[in-house]
Chain A
Amino acid sequence: MVDTINKNLVSFLEEKATELRINILKMIHAAQSGHPGGALSAAEIITTLYCHEMRINLDNQRDPDRDRFILSKGHACPVLYSVLAMKGFFPIEELATLRKINSRLQGHPDMKKTPGVDFTTGSLGNGLSIGIGMALMGKLDKKDFRVYVMLGCGELDEGIVWEAFMAGTKFKLDNLVVIIDYNKLQLDGDNDEVMPLEPIVDKLEAFNWNVIRTNGHDFNQIIKAFAKARETHNKPTVIVADTIKGKGVSFMENKVDWHGLAPDDEQLKIALEEIRGS
């Protein structure tokens, strides 16, 4: 268990998350299409994964021993593309090609086109099952790689997610960590309005997962949650991360309209000022 987290690490991660947010907004602005809300809410979690938690191998991108990440909420891919570019999987300039014809950066993540994407996603609800397949093979081959799956809260409406939660328990996949980006909004409105999820922690505990509730914007808490997951044996971990949709841009925060809307020139300018200022 990590009791004290290096302050330098946290400020390093904070810097990286800011960089991610800037790139997210710029690329969605360039595309004039995409999903800023759910990309911004995931920035700290994704930063922690790629800049601290996960074992990646840039020299051998498909290294069979690498940790895997599956962005089940595929529409939030600007956050993933930003971190992959930042890590060096492809040039930063390429982010401006998001959603454009002949681009390697598809509207939703594509493992065949984008370096660093571990599995194709975008049709909601499927990422956890895919991660279970990977984690199972890791166990079978006695490899020590870990599998991380980020779910959106809206996609918990899908039945297959709960099929997968059952399977995770059955196969005792302690090499698997799910992070729920719990921003409490989905395309049509509040979770509560569209399809209530609560009591979410109770439900996940009833499925016999190791459940950790955390603030998804607090690096100290996120780092600790991943560390706790590593110490848990014989069952998978799910981190319920409370987040704010559109986090970092005042006029986007908690606004359902920013689920799938691109900022115009003026909005981008204000948004970038806010992010750089904070």
Chain B
Amino acid sequence: MYKLGDSIPTRNAYGDTLVELGRKNDQIVVFEADIGKSTRSAIFGKEFPERYFNIGVAEQNEMAIAAGAASCGKIVFVSTYAVFASMRACEQVRTFVAYPHVNVKICVSHGGITPANDGVTHQATEDLGIMRTIPGMTVIMPADAVSTRELVIAATQWDGPIYLRLTRDGVPVIYNEETSFKIGKGILLREGKDITIIAIGDMVSKALDARDILSKQGILAEVIDMHTIKPLDESIILDSVRKTGGVVTVEDHQVECGLGSAVSEFLGENYPIPIQRIGLRNTFAESGEYELLLKKYKMSVDDIISGCFKVVGRKKKKR
């Protein structure tokens, strides 16, 4: 369905998968906040108008309505942008979705700086952290279209709330359709011995690019796709760092509270080793082309590479 290397926004895969699921399961309902054409939930709405509810530009209302619908036994998908679901409707998510642990799957487009030229108002760079601190919440960002499809399907079988973040812009397909995905289980994409790169979402393909360049420079990096940051796959981290002794985390998010924090917290308590976090550092981004933003805000392939060199250097000092 999706070809390796093709650049596909993961929101597209979300819309396609919703329709696929809708055909198999009539208990799936979808709520949208007037951006269905953009989040791609409209594809579902076209085929299943009776199960598709457009609540208008009112994300708090959308989230609380979804919670009520879920209490009637439905599998409820909520579509909007990541900034609005995680911040405008944050309290509805926390108190009426997470606290009663209802089956609401919050699938949101425009994660990180992927709505690049839209600017800061539409770039969600704090959402993973906000969602990760909510008890019982499951927090996911798939790396490509294939894993999006698999993880959205898995979400329908998962008991309780999920926050699943998508990209506006295209990201390369890195998985073939044989790969199997489990919520809460990271994927070991490349084996290595010198350093572990743990990445999430749109940054996974950047981590792979960085690995290719590093290998030519004599550093063999292990690459993990940590598509679920909560619950965190601790065993895949431990297995890898026992071998490599150093970590670079890469996320399209503030370095606080997201993937870098989750990994640091775990390793700090269990297996302290040198670590470097790649992500936004106490700054908002701005409008601009995605690749240029990554460069300006030090989240590019080059930054991942220099992060790896830093950690490798610190490992040596430690010895």
**A and B from one complex:** yes
Which residues does A use to contact B, with CB under 8 Å?
A: 64, 70, 111-112, 118-120, 122-123, 126, 129-134, 136-138, 140-141, 159-160, 163-164, 166-167, 171
**Residues of chain B lying within 8 A (CB to CB) of residue A164:** 61, 64-65
Looking across the interface, which residue of chain A has its beta carbon closest to that of B61?
A163
B51 contacts A140, C-beta separation under 8 Å: yes
Query: B180 an interface residue at 8 Å Cβ cutoff?
Result: no
Instruction: Report chain B residues within 8 Å CB of A119.
Output: 67-68, 71, 96, 100
**Closest beta carbon of chain A to B135's beta carbon, Å:** 12
Cα–Cα, bound, A123→B64 (Å): 11
Q: Does B1 contact A (CB under 8 A)?
A: no
Question: Could you say which residues of chain A place their CB within 8 Å of the CB of B71?
Answer: 111, 118-119, 130, 133-134
Instruction: Determine how close the nearest CB of chain B comes to the CB of A125; give it in whole angstroms.
Output: 8
Contacting residues, chain B, for A138 (C-beta < 8 A): 72
Contact of A133 (CB < 8 Å), options: B60, B66, B95:
B66
**A-B residue pairs in contact (CB < 8 Å), sample of 8:** A112-B101, A123-B96, A130-B71, A130-B96, A133-B66, A160-B64, A163-B60, A171-B53
Contact status of A134 and B69, CB under 8 A, knowing A160-B60, A163-B60, A167-B56: yes
**A64 and B72 contact, CB distance less than 8 A:** yes
Please give the distance in Å from B123's CB to the nearest CB on chain A: 24
Q: For chain A, what secondary structure do more than half of its interface residues adopt (helix, strand, loop), or is it mixed?
A: helix
Which residues in B have their C-beta under 8 angstroms from that of A118?
A: 71
A133 touches B65 (CB 8 A): yes
B91 beta carbon closer than 8 Å to chain A: yes
With A126-B96, A130-B96 already in contact, the answer to whether A137 and B55 are too (CB < 8 A) is: no
Closest 10 CB pairs of A and B: A133-B68, A129-B64, A130-B68, A163-B61, A133-B69, A137-B72, A133-B65, A163-B58, A134-B68, A160-B60
Closest beta carbon of chain B to A230's beta carbon, Å = 21
Contacts of A64 in B (CB 8 A): 72-73
A57 smallest CB distance to B (angstroms):
15
User: What's the minimum C-beta distance from B237 to chain A, rounded to whole angstroms?
Assistant: 32
Beyond A160-B61, A167-B55, is A136–B69 a contact (Cβ under 8 Å)? Answer: yes
Give the interface centre of B61, B63, B92 by most chain A CB atoms within 10 Å: B61
